[in-house]
C-alpha cells in the first residue's frame, strides 16, 4: 500500500528512510540477535545507541559543552510542572508569554507553584500574533521567562528570540526544534516533545544549562528533578528506549540531509509555497500576519465553511490526510515538519487549486 502524505500536527510522519532502517533492524540490531525494544537499557548495545543519539543531537544543534541533554518521559506537558519545581529557587514568581493553547497550559500548571506574571498576552486578538520585544513587560526579579516559539494550533511563530537580560529564558520548542539552526546559548533551557520533528511519542528532550541544575525545591520528587536525570545520564529508571533509538535515527537522517541549514532551506520553501497558494486566492484565508506565520503549522479556512467536509473527503481520496483544523480554530491545518517531503506540499497546493476551481 502506498504511503500517504500525513499532515498531522503530532504524532507526525517520520522520514521514510528512518522507518525503513528501523524495519530492517527490528528483529536484529547490528548483529546483536535482539530488537532494540528487547535490550537492557544498561547493556553495552543500548548504551552505545543512547550515546550516539546524544552526540548526534549535540552535533546537529551545536550544543555547547556547558549544557546537559536529557532524554525524559512524560512529553513536553510534564515539563510544565518540572520547570517551576526545578527553576524557581528562592524566587516566588516567573514570567510567561501567552500566545496560544500550549502557553496557556504551561501557565495554568505554573500557577500551582508560583506567581505568574504575564509578560505578554495576545489572547484578546485570538492568538493570531506575538507581542513585540517592546511590548513585553518583563520582571527583572523573575526566576525565568517562559515562551512557546511556535504554537501548533494557531500556526503562530515568534520571528525573534526575546531578550531577557540576566533572567533565564526557557523555550518550549516541541513543534519547531530541528527545523532550522538556532543559537542554543541564547537559552537557559530548551525542551521539546518528540512526536513532531524528533521521533515517535513517548520522549521529551531537555537541553539545560549546567548552572540551572541543583535548584529544585525540597519537595520535588526524584523523578521530577533535573539533577537526578543529569547525574544518571537519563537512566535513573528505564527510559523510553525505542523512542530514544528512533530519535537517534532521525538525528542521523538530518545529518545526511546536510544539517539544520539544509533543513531550514527546504522548510522555508515548503511554507512559502503553501502560504503563496493561500494568499493568491480569496477562497482560502490565513489570519496570521506574515511576520508571525509558522513554518511548521499552517492553518487555513475556506471561504464557505460548509465545504470543509467535502474538502477533507477529497483530500483524503487524493492521499492527503489529517488536514482537519483544531476544534478551537476550525478549518484546516497542514503541519509540514521536516519529514514532510516537498512533493507533499506540492500535492496539497495542486489539490487546493483544483478544489477551488471545482466550486466555481
Q: Taking Cα atoms as reference points, which of 354, 358, 351 lies closest to residue 5? A: 351
SS3 label, residue 121:
strand
**What percent of the chain stands above pLDDT 90?**
96
Looking at residue 1, what is its pLDDT? 54
- Whole-prediction pTM: 0.96
pLDDT (average), residues 200-205: 95
Kindly state the DSSP code that residue 196 receives in the 8-state scheme.
T
Q: All 3 cell numbers of residue 297?
A: 503549522
- Compute CA distances 175 → 3, 17, 207, 291, 346, whole Å: 23, 21, 15, 18, 22
- Say whether pLDDT at 153 is over 80: yes
Beta strand 169-172 with 189-193 is parallel
Contact between residue 72 and residue 206 where contact means Cβ atoms under 8 Å apart: yes
**Positive or negative torsion for Cα 248, 249, 250, 255:** positive
Give the position of cell 537519563: 234
Q: Just list the catalytic residues.
A: 102, 172, 196
Ordered domains of the chain (ranges, CATH): 16-256 (3.40.640.10), 259-359 (3.90.1150.10)
CA–chain centroid gap for 322, Å, is: 18
**pLDDT tens, residue by residue, 217-266:** 999 999 999 999 999 999 999 999 999 999 999 999 999 999 999 999 99
SS3 label, residue 92:
coil
**pLDDT tens, residue by residue, 47-85:** 999 999 999 999 999 999 999 999 999 999 999 999 999
Looking at residue 327, what is its pLDDT? 80
Q: Which stretches of 137-295 are assigned E, i.e. beta strand?
A: 145-147, 150-151, 156-157, 169-172, 189-193, 204-209, 284-285
**pLDDT tens, residue by residue, 260-313:** 999 999 999 999 999 999 999 999 999 999 999 999 999 999 999 999 999 999
Burial 139-173 (b: 16+ CB within 10 A, else e): eeebbbbbbbbbbbbbbbbbeeebebeebbbbbbb
Amino acid at each position: 500500500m502506498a504511503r500517504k502524505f500525513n499532515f498531522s500536527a503530532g504524532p507526525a510522519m517520520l522520514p521514510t528512510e528512518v522507518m525503513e532502517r528501523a524495519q530492517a533492524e527490528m528483529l536484529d540490531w547490528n548483529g546483536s540477535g535482539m530488537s532494540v525494544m528487547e535490550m537492557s537499557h544498561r547493556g553495552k548495545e543500548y548504551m552505545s545507541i543512547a550515546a550516539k543519539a546524544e552526540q548526534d543531537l549535540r552535533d546537529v544543534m551545536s550544543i555547547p559543552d556547558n549544557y546537559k541533554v536529557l532524554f525524559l518521559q512524560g512529553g513536553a506537558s510534564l515539563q510544565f510542572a518540572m520547570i517551576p519545581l526545578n527553576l524557581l529557587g528562592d524566587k516566588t514568581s516567573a514570567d510567561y508569554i501567552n500566545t496560544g493553547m500550549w502557553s496557556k497550559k504551561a501557565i495554568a500548571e505554573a500557577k500551582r507553584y508560583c506567581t505568574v506574571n504575564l509578560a505578554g498576552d495576545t489572547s484578546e486578538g485570538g492568538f493570531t500574533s506575538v507581542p513585540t520585544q517592546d511590548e513585553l513587560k518583563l520582571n527583572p526579579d523573575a526566576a525565568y521567562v517562559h515562551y512557546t516559539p511556535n504554537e501548533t494550533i494557531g500556526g503562530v511563530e515568534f520571528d525573534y528570540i526575546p531578550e531577557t537580560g540576566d533572567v533565564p529564558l526557557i523555550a518550549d520548542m516541541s513543534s519547531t526544534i530541528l527545523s532550522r539552526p538556532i543559537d542554543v546559548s541564547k537559552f537557559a533551557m530548551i525542551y521539546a516533545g518528540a512526536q513532531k520533528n524528533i521521533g515517535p511519542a513517548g520522549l521529551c528532550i531537555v537541553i539545560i544549562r549546567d548552572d540551572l541544575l541543583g535548584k529544585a525545591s525540597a519537595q520535588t520528587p526524584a523523578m521530577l528533578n533535573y539533577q537526578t536525570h543529569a547525574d544518571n545520564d537519563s537512566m535513573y529508571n528505564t527510559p523510553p528506549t525505542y523512542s530514544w533509538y528512533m530519535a537517534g535515527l532521525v538525528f542521523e537522517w538530518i545529518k545526511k540531509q546536510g544539517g539544520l541549514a539544509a533543513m531550514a532551506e527546504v522548510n522555508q520553501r515548503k511554507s512559502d509555497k503553501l502560504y503563496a497558494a493561500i494568499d493568491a486566492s480569496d477562497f482560502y484565508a490565513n489570519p496570521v500576519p506574515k511576520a508571525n506565520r509558522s513554518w511548521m503549522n499552517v492553518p487555513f479556512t475556506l471561504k464557505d465553511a460548509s465545504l470543509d467536509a467535502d474538502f477533507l473527503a477529497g483530500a483524503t481520496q487524493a492521499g492527503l490526510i489529517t488536514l482537519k483544523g483544531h476544534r478551537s480554530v476550525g478549518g484546516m491545518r497542514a503541519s509540514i515538519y521536516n519529514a514532510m517531503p516537498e512533493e507533499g506540499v506540492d500535492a496539497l497546493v495542486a489539490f487546493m487549486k483544483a478544489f477551488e476551481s471545482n466550486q466555481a
